[in-house]
Amino acid sequence: MARLPSHPRVGIISQARMTSTRLPGKVLLPVAGQPLLHYHVARLQQAGWPVLLAITTNATDDPLADFAAARQLPCCRGDEDDVLSRYWLTARAQALDVIVRVTSDCPLLDGGLIGQGVADYLRQNDSRLYLSNVLERTFPRGLDFEVFSRELLDEAQAQATAASDREHVTPYIHQNRSGRVRFQHVTRAEDRSSYRLTVDTADDFRLIQQLIEAYGAAALSTDALVQLLDQHPELVALNAHIEQKKI
């Protein structure tokens, strides 16, 4: 079994851009006096690992660079469409051995859940392991995270050639193109994958806004968020009609 370095350096890399197609500028939309990205980063920091932003070189992303600088977050800029290379450049710049991949349109990601996932990953000490809650979906969309080694990221950067592989970062890894990836799926007993806690449209934003401003969702765990949605079907209905963009 391939091993990790003896003291692996872990980092959470979040991809962000201002030019999203369905809701431009969404990550800086204000809720309760703070941009959505504030909640995203604050909750990720609860995992106990450094949070890094991977943004584009476009001038439109300068506000994201300013956000990172104001909060002393490492920030790396790269190609808008080649998101895989952005992750690779960020991981290389910070000398990461283990990468946690998240996306910035998920303001209610659970740092505690991610911290548990990383701890489990590190205990197994296998650089060929890909651990995530995205391949077997039971968590609400918007709580997605993936954990993999720099070794697997380096392989993907070197070998992935299709535009979709470069845009979506991990298909080369989770489709096991090398034939040498081991998988672990993080699941919960009750399937709530139909719930949407991501922000891709105006209706998604309205739900998150209500959850944070009226229900204190920025301080809630995954289980508490699920319980809240279970108890309030009228909230779930706000964005239940939204179809996730296909990869």
Please give the Cα distance from 138 to 134 (Å, whole number): 8
What confidence tens digit (pLDDT) does each residue in 183-194 have?
Answer: 999 999 999 999
List Cβ<8 Å contacts ≥24 apart for 19-25: 19/56, 19/58, 19/60, 19/61, 19/80, 20/105, 20/200, 22/200, 22/201, 22/245, 23/199, 23/200, 23/201, 23/202, 23/204, 23/205
Which carries the bigger pLDDT value, residue 245 or residue 128? 128
Q: Are the beta carbons of 200 and 23 closer than 8 angstroms? A: yes
What confidence tens digit (pLDDT) does each residue in 20-32 have?
Answer: 989 999 999 999 9
Please give the Cα distance from 228 to 126 (Å, whole number): 37
Q: What angle do CA 158, 159, 164 make, to 5 degrees?
A: 110
List the chain domain ranges.
Answer: 10-193
3 state DSSP class of 242: coil
How much is the average pLDDT of 54-63? Answer: 98
Q: Which CATH class is domain 10-193?
A: alpha beta
Residue 205 CB partners (closer than 8 Å, separation 6+): 23, 26, 29, 36, 199
DSSP string, 109-164: --HHHHHHHHHHHHHHT-TTEEEESSSS--SPBT---EEEEHHHHHHHHHH--SHH
Strands 51-56 and 129-132: unpaired
Q: Are the beta carbons of 223 and 112 closer than 8 angstroms? A: no
| Chain mean pLDDT for the chain | 97
The letter for the amino acid at 159 is Q
What confidence tens digit (pLDDT) does each residue in 156-206 have?
Answer: 999 999 999 999 999 999 999 999 999 999 999 999 999 999 999 999 999
Is the dihedral angle over the CA atoms 210, 212, 213, 214 positive or is it negative? positive
pLDDT at 247 over 80: no
Q: Are the beta carbons of 83 and 54 closer than 8 angstroms? A: yes
How much is the average pLDDT of 96-123? Answer: 98
| Two structure tokens written together for 103 | 């996306």
pLDDT at 246 over 70: no
Q: Which helix (H) or strand (E) holds 55?
A: strand 51-56
pLDDT band at 65 (very low <50, low <70, confident <90, very high): very high
What is the pLDDT, as a whole number, of residue 243?
83
